[in-house]
Amino acid sequence: MADLLLGQVLSYRGDPFETGEDAARHIADGAVLVEAGRILDLGEAGALTAAHPRARRHDYGRCLISAGFVDAHVHYPQTAMIASWGKRLIDWLNDYTFPEEMRFADPDYARDIAGRYLDIVLAGGTTTVCSYATIHPGSVDALFEAAQARDMRIYTGKTCMDRNAPPGLLDTAQSAYDQSRALLRKWHGLDRLSYVITPRFSPTSTPEQLAAMGQLWKEHPDCLMQTHLSEQTDEIEWVKALFPQSRDYLDTYETQGLLREGAVYGHAIWLTEREKARLVEAGASLVHCPTSNTFIGSGLFDMGLARRLRVGLATDTGGGSSFSMLRTMAAAYEVAQLRHNPLHPAQLWWLATQGSARALRAEERIGNIAPGMEADLVVVDLASTHPIEQATRRAETLWQQIFPTIMMGDDRAIRATWVNGRPVPRS
């Protein structure tokens, strides 16, 4: 039986970085028709209700029905250590990240954190994540199993590191290749699961390991490849010392076959002009992680790149200080203000949905409301708290209604989350 969701409906028919707010389609008294995990139709509530009288009706009043949020760069193993007091990136990795990731040698611990993490993000309206695991194959199994149980579309892969990390977190070029290939063959394309080839970043991978990952990607070109790029200035200096033969940070990946369409680079704050040109030419994706970049003091991402490249948005759990894509949109707005490049709410919402889906090369499946797309949806209460309600009461446009929730909203604003055509039970 079909389900009919009633409320305000927001979808996109274009890129707001190219055409402005006209890229969005808003149906004030709208409906979304869902059946068997797919969106069948959207339109005026009266017309769809009349055309489908037997559909189960879910009346969300004046709430906003949107595509579910897509978080394009996270580290689910860092769930338990989020908001740990930090210094610089390298200190933070050594003091918090690596000790926590060593615990994932225990499959039971990995399963507990994977389930806990997905339940947290679903409560916040996030329906898809692209996550790093740890070096342990069981950490990949744990997240994919938890996602299967929740019918989620998930991207993840074994994090590969063969230097500059504790002994308990090191693999080798060969073991990273062998274990990644085995996990890829086990999970990639099963249900709604996609394997991502995942070297952590150049400082923790030798050229030999990066080359092994490049070879694996060549053998499985339909996968994504994710890693980190130019997050902090001292990290870039470290890369120069480790790769004296390379032209720049991006070149450490490019020379090993890790730059092309389907490459997803987190952060990318301190890019050279050569790197920007090569990223555009290769058709790669960048992911902006604003709460992480401010929390660890990395720098301010240039959102002007969204006019030339596929750019997604991400919480970067647990370097980021929130699991919420609402909070992440607010931080993206604040970072852009500091760069004197104000972002319109239409652009912010797009980054958290269709923009991130495009960064993951999944824009035909998720991140928008259109016939044939997967029915991952979030229903947002635009008057969830008294301060937000009093701000929305003054609104004269849709975006004036939405913006207070972007800036002040939290999980209280999430009225419902739908995954694969079914509502997620609320605790």
What pLDDT, on a 0 to 100 scale, did the predictor assign at position 88? 65
State the Cα–Cα distance between residues 324 and 328, nearest whole angstrom. 6
- Per-residue confidence band for 33, with pLDDT thresholds at 50, 70 and 90: very high
Average pLDDT, integer, range 338-357: 97
Q: Which residue has the tokens 């977190």?
A: 169
Average pLDDT, integer, range 392-400: 94
Q: Would you tell me the crossing angle of helices 207-219 and 173-187 to the nearest 10 degrees?
A: 30
In what helix (H) or strand (E) does residue 282 lie, and over which residues does it extend? Answer: helix 273-282
Question: Which is more confident, 379 or 427?
Answer: 379
Which amino acid belongs to residue 294? Answer: T
pLDDT digits (tens, 9 = 90+) for 182-237: 999 999 999 999 999 999 999 999 999 999 999 999 999 999 999 999 999 999 99
Is residue 224 within 8 A of residue 196, CB to CB? The reply is: yes
**E strand segments, 94-164:** 126-132, 153-157, 159-160
Q: Is the peptide bond before 68 cis (omega within 30 degrees of 0)?
A: no
- Per-residue confidence band for 89, with pLDDT thresholds at 50, 70 and 90: low
Is residue 128 within 8 A of residue 419, CB to CB? The reply is: no
What pLDDT, on a 0 to 100 scale, did the predictor assign at position 319? 83
> Residue 85: pLDDT above 80?
no
pLDDT digits (tens, 9 = 90+) for 168-192: 999 999 999 999 999 999 999 999 9
Q: Which residue has the tokens 């996550």?
A: 131
Bridge partner residues of 247 (DSSP):
none
Torsion of CA 209, 211, 214, 216, to 10 degrees: -60
Question: What is the helix, strand, coil percentage profile of the chain, to 5?
Answer: 45, 25, 30
State the Cα–Cα distance between residues 114 and 82, nearest whole angstrom. 14
Share of the chain above pLDDT 70, in %: 99
Mean confidence (pLDDT) of the chain: 96
Strand 38-44 with 56-67, pairing: unpaired
Collapsing DSSP to helix, strand or coil, 396 comes out as coil
Q: Which of 65-69, 83-87, 250-254, 343-347 has the lowest mean pLDDT?
A: 83-87
Q: 290 is written with which tokens?
A: 């604003």
pLDDT digits (tens, 9 = 90+) for 123-180: 999 999 999 999 999 999 999 999 999 999 999 999 999 999 999 999 999 999 999 9
- Per-residue confidence band for 376, with pLDDT thresholds at 50, 70 and 90: very high
State the Cα–Cα distance between residues 59 and 388, nearest whole angstrom. 22
Q: How far apart are the first and last CA of the chain?
A: 25
Which amino acid belongs to residue 338? Answer: L
Domains of the chain are: 3-68+368-423 (2.30.40.10), 69-359 (3.20.20.140)
pLDDT digits (tens, 9 = 90+) for 92-123: 777 888 889 999 999 999 999 999 999 999 99
Q: 167 is written with which tokens?
A: 């002994």
Q: Would you tell me the crossing angle of helices 107-123 and 137-150 to the nearest 10 degrees?
A: 40
Is residue 266 within 8 A of residue 229, CB to CB? The reply is: yes
What pLDDT, on a 0 to 100 scale, did the predictor assign at position 355? 98
> Residue 270: pLDDT above 80?
yes
> Residue 22: pLDDT above 80?
yes
Q: Which residue in 25, 27, 30, 26 sits closest to 7, CA to CA?
A: 30
- Per-residue confidence band for 83, with pLDDT thresholds at 50, 70 and 90: confident
- Per-residue confidence band for 87, with pLDDT thresholds at 50, 70 and 90: low
What pLDDT, on a 0 to 100 scale, did the predictor assign at position 95? 81
Q: How many CB atoms lie within 10 A of CB 224?
A: 22
Phi/psi at 336 (nearest 5 deg)?
-65, -35
